A and B are shown apart, each in its own frame.
Chain A
Amino acid sequence: MIRTEGLKMEFRVGFFRKRVVALKGLTMEVGKGEVFGFLGPNGAGKTTTLKILMGLVHPTGGAAWLMGRPISDSSVKRNVGFLPEQPYFYDYLTASEFMDLSGRLFGMRKREREARAGELLDMVGLSGAKNLQLRKFSKGMQQRIGIAQALINDPELVVLDEPMSGLDPVGRKQVRDIILGLKDNGKTIFFSTHILPDVEVICDRVGILVRGELRAMGTVDELLSGTRVKSVEMTFTGVSGESLSRLERMASGTVTRGSETTATFGDPEAASMAKRLVFESGGEIISLIPHKSSLEDLFMEEVEKRK
């Protein structure tokens, strides 16, 4: 559905036309029916990539295709829906006028436009606000009308730039559910984000972009398969005196709440020694939780790696 090859983007900024390289040859592919999470810290080049795909900026190198057709062919957009980053809409229009305008730009007929707009406003929970001017919309409502307008043409490919940023947990959950609903309908979703917790839940595949370079790409499981148990957290009770202070010395950190102590161990070996010690001194283990590396750790690693 999306393919890019060696996509490069350079901006010239300021009086001295200083070069800013936003993308250093991005090559990637997103298949049909996938939910692809495009991750990266601020300034990584995510928005730039999406803008190139949508024909808003012209790349300084490389090429890209949507559904097998080059992005310069504006007819591919018939099957694409796009939500820009921090979207801002015509604030003098009401929600239904705005949906109507969006439908017109796809050349949809009046009856079709109205039906589809009603359906979508319902889906994003804005039917009650359809005659309200957009200037009166809250941030969360703006984001939802933005998603609704992106879906007016029932697109095969939905491209969303930071759909969850600036939303509260309820709003994030709504957006997540909308994305999963689209996936169930066989749509392809390509979205950028720097909010990681949602990603593991909804993405089939992710790519990590750092300073204009794709550092990793694959399913979340693939990316994390090489990583081992990072730490073990053990909560126990009924240990006191010398044994307790030995446990405390073995752990990298302890927290005591009432009679229960939670200790964190840096590696599994230390944890199993500690386990034996608790039993030998007549204590009781309440819980034992191994922590694997998360996507967040991987992400931080990639960000901090120099070159």
Chain B
Amino acid sequence: MKVYAIAINTFKEVIRDKIFYSLVFFALLLLGASVLLSTLTLGERSKIIEDLSLSGIEIFGVIIAIFVGIGLVGKELEKKTIYIIISKPIKRWQFLLGKYLGLSLVLLSYISVMTVCYMFFLYAYTYKLPWQTLLAVLLIYIELLTVTASAILFSTFSTPTLSASYALALYVIGHMTGDLRRLAEKTGEGGVKAVLNFVYYFLPNLEDFDIKAKTVHAIPVPADYLLMSVSYGLMYVTAILALSVLIFQRRNFK
């Protein structure tokens, strides 16, 4: 109930903000551009639309997750609105979870709207509706949930600017974990290898959430792979949120 109250308030906060709409606007623009580009390029139109649109949905989703995510807690601290919340009978974990769920709800709305538009364009221009593409969308959403959790984690102990840089770095490195792993195997040296392995196991394997290439080329994605990826994502989110709560619990509000 209290978590729900915070989540709804967070949802209102984001969707009453002009910045959110400009991001959605640009994301939609990118969808339109992918249709336009597909007419100019040789090759299968549907593949180009699918590829560009899915990437666009992901990139703008990540931007929303990071920049709105770090602001969620950061702004409450900076503007001291948190005083009136924490002085009421609500636990700090409830506050943090509410904030997280609120943004997850925003991202769900964002991704639904984008997907509907994307499928509409795709059908209108190619008369095809490849349902498997929805699986790619699902994993993009799980990825966004992971990125949001990390943005919240960083904002519990760091300034907004730094949090944004950390979260962005995490997103980029998270997509290179496979390379890190291979690099670790090649390096014989113990120290470097240990560090690389550490990074590999502790950073999220965001690459696992990327099945765009497969769905675009209609390569089947096994059900157990999907299940594994979704559970991995949710477990990662739980762990990061738990860590955030631990840090947030001890914090003094200036």
Binding site for B on A (CB under 8 A): 51, 54-58, 74-75, 77-78, 80, 82, 84, 86-90, 92-93, 97, 101-102, 104-107, 146, 149
Judge if B22 is at the interface, Cβ distance under 8 Å.
no
CB-based contact A55/B87 at 8 Å? yes
Task: Enumerate 25 A-B pairs (CB-CB under 8 Å) in ascending A order.
Answer: A51-B253, A54-B86, A56-B83, A56-B252, A56-B253, A57-B252, A74-B90, A77-B87, A82-B84, A82-B87, A82-B88, A84-B83, A86-B80, A87-B84, A88-B79, A88-B81, A90-B81, A92-B13, A93-B12, A102-B88, A104-B1, A105-B5, A105-B85, A105-B90, A107-B1
- Expressed in whole angstroms, the Cα–Cα distance for A56 and B12 within the complex equals 25
Judge if B16 is at the interface, Cβ distance under 8 Å.
yes
Interface size on B, residues (CB 8 A): 26
CB-based contact B9/A101 at 8 Å? yes
- Expressed in whole angstroms, the Cα–Cα distance for A105 and B82 within the complex equals 13
CB-based contact A102/B84 at 8 Å? yes
Contact check: which of B5, B81, B87, B253 meets A104 at CB < 8 Å? B5
- Give A93's nearest chain B residue, CB to CB: B12
Interface residues of B in 85-102 (CB under 8 A from A): 85-91
Judge if B17 is at the interface, Cβ distance under 8 Å.
yes
CB-based contact B83/A90 at 8 Å? no
Contact check: which of A86, A89, A105, A146 meets B88 at CB < 8 Å? A105
Chain B, 1-30, contact with A by CB distance < 8 Å: what is the 0/1 string? 110111001001100110000000000000
With A51-B253, A105-B5 as given contacts, are A74 and B89 in contact (CB-CB < 8 Å)?
Answer: yes
- Expressed in whole angstroms, the Cα–Cα distance for A107 and B94 within the complex equals 13
With A104-B1, A105-B5 as given contacts, are A77 and B84 in contact (CB-CB < 8 Å)?
Answer: no
Judge if B250 is at the interface, Cβ distance under 8 Å.
yes
- A residues within 8 A CB of B4? 104
- B residues within 8 A CB of A75? 89
CB-based contact B80/A84 at 8 Å? yes
CB-based contact B2/A104 at 8 Å? yes
- Give A58's nearest chain B residue, CB to CB: B252
- Expressed in whole angstroms, the Cα–Cα distance for A82 and B81 within the complex equals 12
CB-based contact A82/B89 at 8 Å? no
* Shortest beta-carbon distance from B16 to chain A in Å: 4
- Give A75's nearest chain B residue, CB to CB: B89
- Give B90's nearest chain A residue, CB to CB: A105
- Given known contacts A93-B9, A104-B5, what 18 new A-B pairs fall within 8 Å (CB)? A54-B86, A56-B82, A56-B87, A56-B252, A56-B253, A58-B252, A74-B90, A80-B87, A82-B87, A84-B84, A84-B87, A88-B80, A88-B81, A102-B84, A102-B88, A104-B1, A105-B90, A146-B84
- Give B9's nearest chain A residue, CB to CB: A101
With A102-B84, A149-B84 as given contacts, are A78 and B252 in contact (CB-CB < 8 Å)?
Answer: no
- B residues within 8 A CB of A54? 83, 86-87
- A residues within 8 A CB of B253? 51, 56-57
- B residues within 8 A CB of A78? 89
Give the interface centre of A55, A90, A105, A149 by most chain B CB atoms within 10 Å.
A105
CB-based contact B81/A77 at 8 Å? no
* Shortest beta-carbon distance from B73 to chain A in Å: 14
CB-based contact B9/A77 at 8 Å? no
CB-based contact A77/B89 at 8 Å? yes
- A residues within 8 A CB of B84? 82, 84, 87, 89, 102, 146, 149
* Shortest beta-carbon distance from B251 to chain A in Å: 9
The 5 closest A-B pairs by CB, nearest first: A104-B5, A82-B87, A57-B252, A84-B83, A77-B89
Give the interface centre of A57, A84, A86, A93 by most chain B CB atoms within 10 Å.
A84
* Shortest beta-carbon distance from A92 to chain B in Å: 4
- A residues within 8 A CB of B86? 54-56
* Shortest beta-carbon distance from B188 to chain A in Å: 41
- Expressed in whole angstroms, the Cα–Cα distance for A58 and B92 within the complex equals 13
Interface residues of B in 204-251 (CB under 8 A from A): 250
- B residues within 8 A CB of A84? 80, 83-84, 87
* Shortest beta-carbon distance from B183 to chain A in Å: 36
- B residues within 8 A CB of A55? 86-87
